[in-house]
Amino acid sequence: MQLFTDFLNNSMHIEFNLPTGAGGQSALYFNTVLDQHLLEWSLRYSVKYQKTLTYYKAWIWLPADADYTLFALTWQWPSPKWVLEA
């Protein structure tokens, strides 16, 4: 396991921290929203990505260095829209 985490820490990647607590439900919800927005971004810009979850962190790898620049310039953080019903 140590070799895997060393690889993750030493390779270029994008890292998202998932929320802890609530028995993992908040992390599951956050991960689902992240997956939806990553897929939309990937289709819009025709960039494939690889994703792994470890220790309440989502790790994203892109195929080329230029894709990381594109991601930094175009990624808009998803803001969940809460709907309150009376």
pLDDT in tens, 20-67: 888 778 888 889 989 999 999 999 999 999 999 888 899 999 999 999
Torsion of CA 56, 72, 42, 20, to 10 degrees: 10
> Does pLDDT of 86 surpass 70?
no
CA distances from 53 to 27, 44, 82, 83 (A): 11, 23, 25, 28
**Angstrom distance (rounded) from CA 17 to CA 10:** 17
pLDDT at 26: 84
